């Protein structure tokens, strides 16, 4: 559920700068032990709400107990229990597109996929389809795809992505904004009264798009928080079938892509309508976040908190590929969890006690839509307004020694200043996400985004593309290889080559950044114009 995972690189070098918290000599062995255990077939890919996922939660709670972290979960345990609902669409589901001349019967998986499941998706009678450009309303950019159309009670179709821009002040230039995420577009459609939405892939901007790989990603159980309001129908359409929507409407799919390329996107009613009757296999269950804390040592600062998070879930057991059906998720994110444990181990030592309190939060359901993080921000153990920052860990260096660091999301807040200071101490440069992956909306794709939406300044710190032993091009090629051959597949397993010295360097980078943040009297703030600043002001005003 991310691209930043791709940016994982390397090295453990000795840190001598004064005041830097240094990993213990046995940290590498401890990291390897946890990684080898969590990435093994024993945990069956740590699927949310599965036997393997629950076993992983128990193992991690025991690790927190051994570190003597304060239990801050329910009933003085490390567990924050989360009621969830799961469902998977059956191929007997029926989706019909009506035009003036005929009825097109679309097949699940072959022609379309479903973001959500359940009876709330039913559309028993044909509803008119409206094309709403990108499906975006962005007041700060004076942009509104809904301005000229009425969508209440109708089905909305929109193109993936957002307006093209070479101006950093307008839709962040060539970087993606939060408005481009499918979830944001679905929420906007619902807020406008639409009964459902259809996302059409944007092949003009996606040279690597593969419908077959997309089918694989959607083959797993759809899971939601049990209290989530009923979702409407949300479809991802195979671009090869997009023409059926635009028949007799004056434009075709190719012309829509041309509108995108020329920045002349239009919204208009289509001459087609839709009905849907879904059939699903469903269940209710409880999963859990794992939460422990190191209380701050400063009498004034200890009542402010930093959340250090990593998701421990992965995809579990899924479609078999070359005889392997366990999606172990070693890079994504057994490595991140193992790194968090080593950071907690260091801060638990008396000589490195932080002035502010640190919450170590292992999250479930990230692969299902940041569910564990969303549940926490809806039901915070510590009030949100007292939580000054989130440092999320999703992917740890594994390719080669690195000389630069990427702060995903640092441009939104003054956490960037802390990162610059930390990098200076460690002799590292600030880097940016490679252009090859910038369109993947790295900040929105992991748990830091859920914390940001709750108003908490958040960051994901990754290694950059300046290496010690390989060129930047070689490193980017390794990222691309991982993305296409290993990411979200059964082969992200313990057979992957890992440079453990590199992993230790990455952990040290995180450790030093968190040390600076936890001991500083300065509180991170959202920068002017950040889309998250109003929510921060709201939680502070409400003392939520």
Strand order from edge to edge, sheet including 94-98: 103-106, 94-98, 267-277, 123-132, 155-159, 196-200, 233-237, 112-114
For residue 408, the cross-strand partners are 460
Residues with Cβ < 8 Å from 520, sequence gap 6 or more? 418
Closest CA to 465 of 403, 509, 419: 403
* Axis crossing angle, helix 335-347 with helix 500-519, rounded to the nearest 10: 50
Give me the phi and psi of 9, to 5 degrees please: -135, -115
All domains in the chain, ordered by first residue: 4-84+285-542 (3.40.630.10), 91-278 (3.50.30.30)
d(CA 467, CA 457): 29
Question: Which residues lie closer than 8 Å to 145 by C-beta, 6 or more apart?
Answer: 132, 133, 134, 135, 136, 137, 158, 265, 267
pLDDT of residue 132: 98
C-alpha–C-alpha distance, residues 180 and 165, integer Å: 13
Provide the pLDDT for residue 379. 98
DSSP structure class, residue 333: I
Dihedral (CA of 488, 494, 496, 498) sign? positive
CA proximity to 1, closest of 526, 306, 448, 516 = 448
Residue with tokens 């079938």: 241
User: Among candidates 213, 218, 489, 499, which has minimal Cα distance to 329?
Assistant: 489
DSSP SS3 for 198: strand
Structural contact between residues 174 and 432, judged by C-beta atoms closer than 8 angstroms: no
Phi then psi for residue 3, to 5 deg, are: -120, -25
Nearest CA among 474, 457, 458 for reference residue 466: 474
The SS3 of residue 159 is strand
Are 455 and 461 in contact, with CB atoms under 8 Å apart?
A: no
Taken in order 342, 348, 354, 358, the sign of the CA dihedral is positive
pLDDT tens for the chain, 544 residues long, are: 443 333 333 333 333 334 455 776 689 999 999 999 999 999 999 999 999 999 999 999 999 999 999 999 999 999 999 999 999 999 999 999 999 889 999 999 999 999 988 888 999 999 999 999 999 999 999 999 999 999 999 999 999 999 999 998 899 887 778 898 898 999 999 999 999 999 999 988 776 688 988 998 899 999 999 988 667 899 999 999 999 999 999 999 999 999 999 999 999 999 999 999 999 999 999 999 999 999 999 999 999 999 999 999 999 999 999 999 999 999 999 999 999 999 999 999 988 899 999 999 999 999 999 999 999 999 999 999 999 999 999 999 999 889 999 999 999 999 999 999 999 999 999 988 776 565 446 788 899 999 999 999 999 999 998 988 888 888 888 888 998 889 999 999 999 999 999 999 999 999 999 999 999 999 999 999 898 999 999 999 999 9
Structure tokens at 429: 């440069």
Whether 43 and 56 have beta carbons less than 8 Å apart is answered as: yes
At 342, is the secondary structure helix, strand, or coil?
Answer: helix
Question: Do β-strands 458-463 and 387-392 pair in parallel, antiparallel, or remain unpaired?
Answer: parallel
At 350 the pLDDT is 83
DSSP category for residue 252 = -
């Amino acid at each position: 559920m991310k691209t930043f995972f791709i940016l994982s690189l390397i090295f453990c070098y000795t840190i001598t700068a004064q005041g830097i918290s240094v990993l213990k000599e046995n940290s590498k062995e401890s990291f390897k032990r946890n990684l080898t255990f969590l990435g093994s077939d024993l945990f069956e890919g740590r699927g949310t709400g599965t036997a393997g996922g629950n076993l992983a939660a128990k193992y991690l709670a025991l690790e927190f107990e051994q570190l003597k972290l304060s239990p801050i979960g329910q009933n003085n345990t490390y567990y924050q229990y989360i009621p969830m609902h799961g469902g998977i669409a059956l191929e007997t589901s029926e989706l019909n597109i009506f035009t003036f001349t005929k009825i097109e019967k679309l097949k699940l998986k072959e022609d379309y996929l479903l973001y959500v499941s359940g009876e709330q998706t039913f559309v028993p009678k044909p509803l008119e389809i409206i094309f709403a450009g990108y499906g975006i309303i962005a007041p700060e950019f004076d942009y509104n795809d809904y301005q000229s159309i009425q969508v209440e009670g109708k089905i909305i179709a929109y193109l993936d992505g957002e307006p093209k821009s070479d101006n950093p002040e307008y839709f962040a230039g060539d970087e993606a904004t939060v408005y481009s995420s499918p979830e944001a577009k679905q929420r906007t459609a619902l807020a406008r009264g639409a009964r459902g939405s259809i996302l059409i892939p944007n092949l003009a901007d996606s040279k690597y798009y593969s419908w077959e790989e997309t089918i694989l990603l959607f083959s797993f159980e759809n899971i939601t928080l049990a209290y989530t309001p009923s979702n409407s129908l949300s479809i991802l359409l195979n671009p090869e079938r997009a023409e059926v929507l635009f028949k007799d409407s004056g434009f075709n799919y190719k012309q829509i892509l041309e509108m995108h390329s020329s920045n002349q996107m239009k919204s208009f009613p289509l001459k087609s309508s839709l009905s849907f009757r879904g059939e699903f296999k469903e269940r209710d269950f409880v999963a859990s976040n794992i939460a422990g804390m190191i209380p701050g040592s400063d009498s004034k600062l200890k009542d402010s908190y930093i959340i250090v998070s990593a998701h421990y879930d992965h995809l579990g057991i899924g479609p078999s590929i070359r005889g392997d059906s366990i999606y172990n998720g070693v890079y994504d994110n057994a490595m991140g969890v193992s790194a968090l444990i080593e950071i907690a181990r260091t801060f638990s030592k008396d000589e490195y006690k932080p002035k502010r309190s640190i919450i170590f939060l292992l999250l479930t359901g990230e692969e299902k839509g940041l569910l564990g993080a969303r549940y926490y921000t809806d039901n915070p153990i510590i009030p949100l307004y007292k939580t000054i920052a989130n440092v999320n860990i999703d992917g740890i260096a594994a390719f080669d020694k690195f000389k630069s660091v990427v702060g995903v999301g640092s441009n939104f807040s003054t956490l960037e200043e802390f990162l610059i200071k930390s990098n200076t101490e460690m002799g590292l440069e600030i880097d940016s996400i490679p252009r090859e992956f910038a369109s993947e909306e790295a900040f929105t794709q992991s748990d830091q985004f859920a914390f940001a939406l709750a108003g908490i300044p958040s960051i994901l710190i990754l290694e950059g593309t300046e290496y010690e032993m390989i060129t930047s091009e070689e490193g980017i090629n390794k990222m691309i290889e991982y993305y296409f051959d290993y990411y979200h597949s059964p082969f992200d397993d313990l057979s992957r080559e890992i440079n453990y010295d590199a992993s230790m360097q990455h952990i040290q980078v995180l450790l030093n950044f968190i040390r600076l943040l936890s001991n500083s009297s300065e509180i991170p703030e959202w920068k002017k114009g950040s889309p998250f600043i109003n929510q921060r002001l709201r939680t502070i005003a409400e003392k939520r």
